Structure 1
Amino acid sequence: MNRRPTLLAAAAMAAAAVVSLSACGGSDGASKDSDKIAGADSGDKASGSPSAEASDDGVDRPEIRLPKGVKNVFEGGTTGDPKKDAVLADNERWVDSLIEAVTVQAKDHPALKFYAAGDGLISSAEYIQGFQEKKKTFVGTIRYYDRQVTFLKDGVAAVSYCKDGTKTYPKDLKTGVVDRSIEPSASDYAFVNTRVKKNGKGVWQTDSVTSTTASKKCTP
């Protein structure tokens, strides 16, 4: 069965030896103009180019590079609160690192281990393994919206958002064939709730993840 990214829920189960967090992706895929979605060409932040940054916080961050034809679009921009903006920025980097691990072929993905820890890292590994077992990757654009930050205590926060995968298409790793015949459905939407913790380097690492597909909160 072909699956979109939202259908492979990141469940924090015991899988410490699941994978070495190596990639399952194949060659680059091309995205048609018709794949564009709201926000992709607006002021919303889109990732798809190298994101190694000379950040203001002085943290030496690993490069994240998504392949041609794969894009994350983060709606909402900045909140005006520097603390919340820092949390959202590292959440975006975690998402980018996760999608890189699914779509880019490499022996290792240091950015994923940089932005995830604990159950969040295990959940990320299981998400990646779901694609590996099906010998699939994907091309297209994922939209992230209704992004919220709630501080729980010093150094710990919750980040929630909706995820729209209707403009993504499964790609077979062996043949490189992209299946664009799949029609959008409610299952292509998900509500994601994460907990993030600030580590000693000042990085807000994703520590736990829950994902609910076809959530009424996110489905149009």
Structure 2
Amino acid sequence: MQTRPTTIAAAALAAVTLLLSGCGSSDGEDLGKDGIAGADTGASASASPSPSASDDDIDRPEIKLPSDVKNVFEGGERRDPVKDAVLADNERMINSIDEAITVDAEEHPALKFYSRENALIAATNYVQSFYEAGTTWTGSTRYYDREVTLSGESAATVTYCGDETESYSKDRKTKKVKKTPGDADDYVSYSARMKKNTEGVWQTTNVVSERGAEKCQP
């Protein structure tokens, strides 16, 4: 079985459980905003985003992953500008969590920029579990079969699959990589709820996952 844990959805089997699973996690532990610097779980948002907000107006925090870490996002709408914006911020959410895991820094501002509510709490706990275990990850994770369902002007659900067969656990100090053969559990199904805030950012509020999901198998 692959040893690189699932991105934040491994934190919950339902919206309220927030239980973390996978390599180096601490099941049931709620570290809240003290878990990761810059991940204050009280990020504000509104259900009534400004109609004048556009992507060009948004001052986004930079996200930079290490050279040995790569997330590949396949497909997408590419026809509907709203759905495209949702998918783009979903990608940024995933990258923001992986940056917080793989890049040692005093602050990770992108984490709370793209996640809030249950998703931010789960993400903070998930990231902290890597530091407590002395691990990080390396390799490539592929995301595919991505679909967006809109609910009005400021809410959406994104469903997608993740392939972790080429992502591996790495010791934080020794840099030793633990490579194991992939199996069915390395294919994960995700469902992310997202809301648009006053700045026009589609923030993730909750993620539910199913590891070993049949619909994501090759």
1:22 offset after TM fit, Å?
4.4
1:16 offset after TM fit, Å?
5.3
1:17 offset after TM fit, Å?
2.6
- Please state if 1:74 is matched with 2:89: no
Q: Contact 1:22–1:101 at 8 Å: present in 2 too?
A: no
How many residue pairs are counted as aligned between the two chains? 188
Q: Which amino acid aligns with 1:119?
A: N
- Please state if 1:96 is matched with 2:88: no
Q: Which amino acid aligns with 1:202?
A: G
Structure 1 residues 194, 7: closer, same or farther in 2, change over 3 A? closer
Q: Which amino acid aligns with 1:84?
A: K
Greater Cα shift, 59-68 or 14-23: 14-23
Partners in 2 of 1:16 and 1:135 — Cα distance?
Answer: 17
Q: Which runs of 5+ in 1 are unaligned?
A: 24-54
Structure-to-structure mapping, 1:133-212, within 5 angstroms: 133-180=132-179, 182-212=180-210
Q: Contact 1:7–1:187 at 8 Å: present in 2 too?
A: no
Pairing partner for 2:212 from 176, 201, 214: 214
Q: Contact 2:189–2:211 at 8 Å: present in 1 too?
A: yes
Pairing partner for 1:20 from 16, 30, 35: 35
Which position in structure 1 is the counterpart of 2:21? none
Partners in 2 of 1:215 and 1:135 — Cα distance?
Answer: 29
Q: TM-score, normalized by length of structure 1?
A: 0.79
SS of residue in 2 equivalent to 1:217? helix
SS of residue in 1 equivalent to 2:191? strand
1:132 offset after TM fit, Å?
2.4
SS of residue in 2 equivalent to 1:111? helix
Structure 1 residues 123, 61: closer, same or farther in 2, change over 3 A? same
Q: Contact 2:188–2:212 at 8 Å: present in 1 too?
A: yes
Structure 1 residues 197, 136: closer, same or farther in 2, change over 3 A? same
Partners in 2 of 1:77 and 1:152 — Cα distance?
Answer: 18
Which position in structure 1 is the counterpart of 2:11? 10
1:134 offset after TM fit, Å?
2.2
Structure 1 residues 2, 148: closer, same or farther in 2, change over 3 A? closer
Question: Where does structure 1 differ by over 4 angstroms across 4 or more consecutive aligned residues?
Answer: none
SS of residue in 1 equivalent to 2:166? strand
Q: TM-score, normalized by length of structure 2?
A: 0.80
Partners in 2 of 1:134 and 1:214 — Cα distance?
Answer: 24
1:130 offset after TM fit, Å?
2.9
1:108 offset after TM fit, Å?
1.3
1:18 offset after TM fit, Å?
6.2
